Structures are given as C-alpha cells and as structure tokens.
Amino acid sequence: MSRRSLPVPDLFAAACDHDRAALARLLSLLERGDDEARQISRLAHPRSGNGYLVGYTGAPGAGKSTLTSATIGHVRSLGLELAVLAIDPSSPFTGGAILGDRVRMQDHATDPGVFIRSMATRGHLGGLSLATPEAARLMDAVGKPWTIIETVGVGQVEVEIAGKADTTVVVVNPGWGDSVQANKAGLMEIADVFVINKADRKGADETRRDLEQMLDLSDLPHDAWRPPILACVAVDGAGVPELWDTIGRHRAFITDSGELARRRSFRIREELREIVARRLEQRARELTGGSRWDELGEQVVARQVDPWSAADEMLAGVIA
C-alpha cells in the first residue's frame, strides 16, 4: 500500500514514530482542508500541549529565512529537535511555495532532527488562518518540542498568524521605518522580542533608539514583559544564540506569570470561532453553485438587484 493511500490514523501513527514522509503527507492533507484535515485535528488535539510555538515575522527582505536557518543550526547544536513552517502568503493565484526559502533551508534538509515545510493554501480567504494552527498542533502532537512559524509581517492575515505564537519575534533591519511604514503599529503590538537583523549595516543604532522610544510610548505595565531588542547578523550567525536564550527567557516569564496559559486559551477560542465561520462559509459555497445563484448573479450584474438583497434571497431558509 503506498503512503499516499494510507488512512489518516496510520499516517499519524507513522508520523509519531518519526516518519517524515508521513508527516509531510499529513500536512498536505491539512492544507487541502477536507474531511481528512478534520480527522487529523481530532487525532492531534488530545496529544498536543507539550510543544512550544515561536513566530518569526517581519517585512519582505528582512532576512527571516536566513535567521530561521541560523536558528535551526543553533538549536540543533544544542541537541534539540525542531520543526519549521514557512507560511507563504504570496499568491491567491498560484499558491506557490517560496523557492528561495527552500534553497536557503537546504543546509538542513538531510538532518532528521529538523522538519521544514513551506505551507500554502490553494483555497479561499482565511485558508491560512485555519491551516496554520492545525499544522502547529500536528507538529506538537507528533512530538516536536519546538516549532518555528515564519511569516511575512505584512498583510492582515499574516500578522494575525504571527501574533498567535507563544513567543513572537519581530525581525527588522536598520532603517526599517520605510519598509514597514504601513505596518509598524501592528508589528509593535505582537512583538515579544525584536531582532535588528543585518545589524552591521548603518542605521542600526538609530533603529534601536526608534524601537526603544516606541516601547517607552506604549505604556507597558511595570510588571509586564518589555520586548528586548537584540542585534543579529543572521548570515554569519552572530547574535543567534542570544536570540534563542531570550526566547527561552520569554517562555519562562510567560509560563510563570500565567500569560502562556491565557494566550493559548484565547488562541484556541479564536480558532474555534474561525472554524465555525469557515463551516458556514463552506455552506455558502455549496449554496452558490446552483442555477438560482447564476440567475441572481446576472440580475446583480445588470443592476436589477443589489448584492445585499441577492444575498438575502440566497440565505432565506438556510440559516435556521
């Protein structure tokens, strides 16, 4: 029996037994989001809760993949296993994975202690919001003690995903102000740790002052975690051990303060809300395939009916 046709429980058992191909196959099923995705979630949920989820996010070109790659090297040198999920926000059209990232990750491709995967959704709006927590839960359930989720820190869905990690690392560059102008506030809100990557370039000190100032203005309670600002040169690994130590310190801090439990509880409730919404959306898609839909669409295009009234008509009798 080929692995492709193995039933989900067998794949799950194999993945728990360190079978990487089985794990990869489970992730593909999660991305598709069919009934099998649901089955995976059911198996993974009761077994999860021991792993720790770290988010790396920042503007395109900030060097997140290089930093992730350097982190993998460091974490492996400590003898720890880990998983990396690179979220590809790119195209609703192509759903393509990021070639460049994959190339950079190749150093680690043959290491059995590292599992790396680029995720994409071929589907509809909100696909990533649902598939990503499922994928993270699966990594946790099959025994990965650490999972890094790497996302581009621009775009409403992507920032949301990044902000749902246990520890969120925001990667900036000297002169970051320009490249993330549209998104500074969002990134400030979700950051637990700041990393100034490419810190050997000019403007690093200014960027640090800029960040400190923004933190000063953000009125943190006196007993809160103040996001540390680290400097890195990811291409040669400088600063990466310090980053990993800081992530560990943040983990300890939020574990002791009860914040970790609160975050996880909040996150799972958000996910539940998302699932309910998505199930309803699916129902809407079923509805909007028929000929009555085509007819109504024509009328809206011809401006005989407005979109909201057409929606009313489609929904009549659907929502109990």
Q: Which of residues 143-172 bind a second copy (CB under 8 A)?
A: 152, 154-160, 163
By beta-carbon proximity to a second copy, the closer residue of 11 and 141 is: 141
Q: How far is the CB of 38 from a second copy (least distance, A)?
A: 5
Q: How far is the CB of 133 from a second copy (least distance, A)?
A: 9
Selected binder of a second copy within 280, 290, 292, 295 (CB under 8 A)? 280
Q: How far is the CB of 34 from a second copy (least distance, A)?
A: 12
276, 297 Cβ separation under 8 angstroms: no
Task: Give 95's contacts (C-beta < 8 A, 6+ positions apart).
Answer: 88, 120, 121, 122
- Residue ranges in 108-127 that form contacts with a second copy under rule CB under 8 A: 125-126
Dist. CA 124–CA 111, nearest whole Å = 34
Q: How far is the CB of 155 from a second copy (least distance, A)?
A: 2
What are the angstrom distances between the C-alpha of 112 and each of 13, 240, 251?
A: 17, 22, 25
Selected binder of a second copy within 73, 143, 145, 297 (CB under 8 A)? 297
91 touching a second copy, by CB under 8 A: yes
The residue among 113, 144, 132 whose CA lies nearest residue 47 is: 144
x-marked contacts with a second copy along 171-210 as a string, rule CB under 8 A: -------xxxxxxxxx--xx--------------------
Dist. CA 212–CA 210, nearest whole Å = 6
Residue 166 CB neighbour total at 10 angstroms: 22
Number of residues in contact with a second copy under rule CB under 8 A: 80
By beta-carbon proximity to a second copy, the closer residue of 61 and 248 is: 61
Dist. CA 8–CA 14, nearest whole Å = 10
